[in-house]
């Protein structure tokens, strides 16, 4: 007899008042013993994984309201499958959420080419109030593009929309509608990510028929289990190209350094020194 069935029988016997127990009937008159329902089947590994994924997606959705600021060192690696070359960039990332709107800045100040040669190269991307800006210090060029109109909703960190996906506060229903989602482990074969600890990994595969599925094979996303801050990202394209990003020692809801906060401000530049290209959103 199973443990559950034994425990159920003991509980039923214990519930019968001893002074009210009926006299035993002859064996031939004993009614058939009631069938004992089998214990509920335990969830399969696939079902358990699915439950963990959906619960974690719910936590990530709520993190959109709890993560007001995020900053950290950013490393970016791009692998070109055709040339079989890797280049890397190093810098900072700053994200701030205020009055329901999100702005971010990414600045790279070091570039390492496929030969390992390092170069101090300053590039910055800023998103604020519907404008996405790119500032190239070496070529003295500044591009400012309006990518969303006033009052329209746009998440610059949404998968497939921003320059680097940093999914914070993504709606679980939207993620499940666009991707097949499962768990994944820290990729020990990628040195930039192999040393991560205390992280949860999700693998997002674009569903067939979606626009993203045409070019992207998968996203692997890694989050700090305590703060839910994104710490690692792998984007694998269908052509074999791969982009890896790592946010090291992210500071969540802590004091934002003045130098980091300054990165969030769209600069006013002298057109005599910079090539400036401003493109407002075309009216429909």
Of the CA atoms within 13 Å of residue 206, those in its CB half-sphere come to: 18
**Rounded Cα–Cα distance for residues 41 and 109 (Å):** 56
Q: What pLDDT is recorded for position 27?
A: 38
In this structure, what DSSP letter does residue 281 have?
P
**Rounded Cα–Cα distance for residues 129 and 21 (Å):** 78
Task: Check: CB of residue 111 under 8 Å from CB of residue 89.
Answer: yes
Region class of 275: left (phi > 0), else alpha (psi between -120 and 50), else beta: beta
In this structure, what DSSP letter does residue 148 have?
S
**Rounded Cα–Cα distance for residues 240 and 32 (Å):** 66
Every domain of the chain and the residues it spans: 46-279
**Rounded Cα–Cα distance for residues 142 and 47 (Å):** 50
Which position has the token pair 């950290």?
72
**Rounded Cα–Cα distance for residues 7 and 16 (Å):** 15
**Rounded Cα–Cα distance for residues 77 and 86 (Å):** 7
Instruction: Name the strand (E) or helix (H) holding 278.
Output: strand 275-279
Task: Check: CB of residue 121 under 8 Å from CB of residue 94.
Answer: no
**Rounded Cα–Cα distance for residues 83 and 268 (Å):** 39
Tell me how many degrees the CA angle 215-219-222 measures, rounded to the nearest 5.
165
**Rounded Cα–Cα distance for residues 63 and 172 (Å):** 11
20 class by beta-carbon count within 10 Å (0-12 exposed, 13-18 middle, 19+ buried): exposed
Task: Check: CB of residue 266 under 8 Å from CB of residue 128.
Answer: yes
Per run of 10 residues, the mean pLDDT along the chain (length 284 residues) is: 29 28 38 48 84 91 85 95 95 88 91 93 90 93 89 67 63 90 95 94 94 93 91 94 93 90 93 96 76
Architecture of domain 46-279: Clam (2.50)
């Amino acid at each position: 007899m199973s443990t559950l069935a034994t425990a159920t029988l003991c509980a039923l016997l214990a519930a019968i008042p001893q002074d009210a127990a009926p006299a035993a009937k002859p064996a031939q008159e004993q009614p058939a013993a009631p069938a004992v329902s089998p214990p509920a089947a335990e969830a399969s590994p696939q079902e358990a994984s699915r439950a963990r994924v959906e619960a974690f997606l719910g936590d990530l959705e709520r993190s959109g309201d709890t993560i007001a600021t995020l900053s950290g060192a950013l490393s970016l690696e791009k692998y070109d499958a055709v040339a079989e070359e890797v280049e890397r960039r190093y810098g900072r990332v700053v994200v701030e959420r205020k009055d329901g709107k999100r702005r971010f800045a990414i600045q790279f100040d070091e570039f390492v080419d496929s030969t390992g040669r390092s170069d101090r190269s300053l590039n910055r991307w800023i998103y604020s109030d519907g404008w996405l800006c790119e500032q190239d210090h070496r070529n003295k060029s500044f591009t400012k593009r309006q990518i969303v109109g006033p009052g329209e909703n746009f998440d610059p960190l949404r998968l497939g929309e921003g320059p680097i996906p940093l999914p914070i506060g993504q709606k679980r229903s939207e993620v499940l509608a666009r991707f097949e989602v499962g768990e994944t482990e820290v990729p020990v074969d990628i040195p930039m990510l192999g040393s991560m600890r205390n992280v949860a990994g999700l693998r997002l595969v674009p569903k067939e028929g979606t626009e993203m599925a045409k070019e992207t094979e998968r996203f692997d996303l890694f989050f700090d289990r305590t703060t839910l801050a994104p710490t690692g990202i792998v984007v694998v394209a269908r052509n074999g190209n791969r982009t890896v990003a790592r946010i090291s020692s992210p500071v969540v809801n802590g004091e934002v350094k003045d130098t980091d906060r300054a990165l969030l401000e769209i600069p006013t530049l002298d057109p005599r020194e910079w090539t400036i290209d401003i493109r407002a959103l075309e009216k429909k």
